Chain A
Amino acid sequence: MTVELLRESFEIQGKNFDKAGEVSGEIKVILRDLGIDAVNLRRLVVVAFEGEMNVVMYANRGTLTLILTDEDVNLEIQDEGPGIPDIELALQEGYSTASDEMREMGFGFGMGLPNMKKNSDELRIESEVGKGTSVFAKIRLNSNV
């Protein structure tokens, strides 16, 4: 049975590009101080950062919850936003619905969700159009890619 060691939630402000990435920066410091190895740390913060950017770009607000167990690290990103009509399509590299403003920020080239998938051991997306999206990512601590 897995033992939960840490659970912490962070608020993400939608459309606030100046603050975008702050939560992931905080998570990086927390996980590094906990002694997570460099490879898994990079994978985790890439998932957190891409997830955070998606909330900032598309949603009104969101929450990122970090859950550390003795076996894995879980990132749950839930937002109140437009939702994703076709999740399979959204996971295709290169597919993007980004605005010019998002692209000027260096994002929105259709690699966000694929990057999250690539760096997770498990990734699950639930979405309801007009309500919001939830992304659940799991990174096992004994796995190295």
Chain B
Amino acid sequence: MKLVEIKDLLQCEVLAGEDDLQVDVTQVVASDGMSEILAFAKSKELMITGLTNIQSIRTADIAGVSAVIYCRGKRPDKKVVDFAKQKRIPVLITKMVMFDICGVLYNRGLKGVS
């Protein structure tokens, strides 16, 4: 599924990477624990987290994910968004909670990584 479709599905606001939403995503990692993201992400997954600090983008960069969606209405600081832009990682935010996001994406055929 293309990131732009996920954006519409989850009613996201795009904070970084507006021009990179055509990327195709098939797998998802979702956690507030960064080591958990690092343990499961293989590359190019969509990362969903409620952690909005700078470490979330560092983790996204190290894990090589395609994009980050911050859930439950949390908004990262400007320096976090700027860092994501520098690393060319699209950043989206949604008011939906993590459980609902995962349910919606799973129903559309996206899978987790194990």
Contacts and interface: CB of A to CB of B under 8 A. Distances in A.
Interface of A: 17-18, 20-21, 24-25, 28, 38, 42, 45-46, 49-50, 105-107, 109, 111-112, 114-115, 118
Contact of A42 (B34, B53, B59, B63): B63
Q: Which of A17, A24, A109 has the most CB of B within 10 A?
A: A109
Nearest to B35: A111
A115 B38 contact: yes
Contacts of B33: 106-107, 109, 111
Contacts of A106: 32-35, 49, 51, 53, 55-56, 59
Contacts of B49: 106
B64 interface: yes
B23 interface: no
A105 B34 CA distance: 8
Interface of B: 32-36, 38-39, 42-43, 49, 51, 53-56, 58-59, 61-64
Contacts of A105: 34, 51, 53, 55
A20 B59 CA distance: 11
14 contacts: A18-B54, A20-B55, A21-B58, A21-B62, A24-B62, A25-B61, A28-B62, A42-B43, A42-B62, A49-B59, A50-B38, A107-B34, A111-B33, A118-B39
A46 B63 contact: yes
Contacts of B35: 50, 106-107, 109, 111-112, 115
Nearest to B51: A106
A45 B89 CA distance: 17
A72 B54 CA distance: 31
Contact of A49 (B32, B36, B54, B58): B58
A97 to B, nearest CB: 14
The 7 closest A-B pairs by CB, nearest first: A111-B35, A21-B58, A106-B34, A109-B33, A106-B51, A49-B62, A45-B62
